[in-house]
Structure 1
């Protein structure tokens, strides 16, 4: 059983010692040249009944995001082919649902998963809360991973979301694990939480029966019209500390440097990679938020001396 005190002790190490320790864990388990590129596509946009204060797709807020119906299987396959051509090895699909309903649209998502897998790519979806039967059907379709973030700590969670409980999220993670699908779960920093809240979230993830295969660390991208649109940015070194702590806590998992990279300079990103981040989302957009361009990322990876996309491991 992992404890908060353990995580706090690691997080509070002198920064150079923390980064070096995380870098050594990373080197032993994966190596610094193994950075996975993932692509993320919104397959159904806007109109979500949840009230997550950070999300421009919530129907509770007046935001610039237009509602768009579920994409066709052909549209998704085309996007996946484009992503693979630019070096992505995992294709992630997100739908703005509280929970998917059984029927034609869920069946269409199953077909999307099958098409992505035919391209020899990993397939990940995030659809909201899942039943055990839905998780089983996704597994049968070939789903590699399911993303369902805890977002923040149990203590801070009610300040961010009221339409779904923290335990609802944990139940979905249990259903996913039971079906034999890898769990992708992390959080968002910059929503008014404390550093201890961030660590508490990592502790909860570490104490899952099956720890996450990947842990996304997202920096809040304040969206116009949401309650958090004026939220201040987080100190960059706090992000580095969190990534390093996550790397030590989850030595064999992907630690994904997710939303917010377009606000980081290249030196900051390199420091995050040194601290143990080994996955990024590749492409100009993350659902509805901006992301560094593929050309900017290619230049960054060349400067870091990383292999060309086709040579990257998955």
Structure 2
């Protein structure tokens, strides 16, 4: 008969249970060893700079030297700044146009590539090439095309309206930036849409064809509902990226002619790092960050509601 001392020192549970506890303990330690360093790095290189930026947005710092605490005066001044309002308006218009065009073109190409065509895999690779090119390099290439090649071709064809670069026209310069941005950005969206189209069961299309549904009907009542989650991803990412447009503008127009193509990111860069308005433009960046977050949340809620109803 076991004594009380024997029961006190005897390990509880079966060998399998003790092994399971040891395995779980090892997994817990491995989990913390992976998560804690990542959290520390994220805090140091992301969260901490954001908090520092929010603090400096409450100062009149020029980006160097001494500074004074000014509270919310930077934020109040932003709402009365005509240049800030015009850059926000231009950026929103640009992002809306580019988002719509990119998703229309990408979805059209993806549907075509998903069909029965020759060299389908090769074409997928070709269409993805623009996405791996540096934006600043592509921007300078398109700048040369719009400043040199296109005017020369238009002059030889007698097209007077295009015989001069559209990048020098305040009312047309944004079109050149949109063309370059759409050409470069559409590649990534095509890949996302192709991945979504491959999840649609072919039996649905066969059944719809037997019922006499037209291609347009099959697209709206089968394809779109089935890939709506992928459509949501592309719409949110596209709008977010285009609201932050910077490289394209710097490479092609520099924000000109004048300030006609100046975006929020360009204004923050110029004013904060070149114009001695570091604290003021940091406040602008904080507001811009909040705006992007609000747009993303609203987009996700609206589009996901449509996804559920579809």
- Structure 1 and Structure 2 fold alike (TM over 0.5): no
TM-score range normalised by the length of the shorter chain: under 0.3
Normalized per residue, which structure has more helix? 2
TM-score normalized by the length of structure 2: 0.22
TM-score (norm 1): 0.21
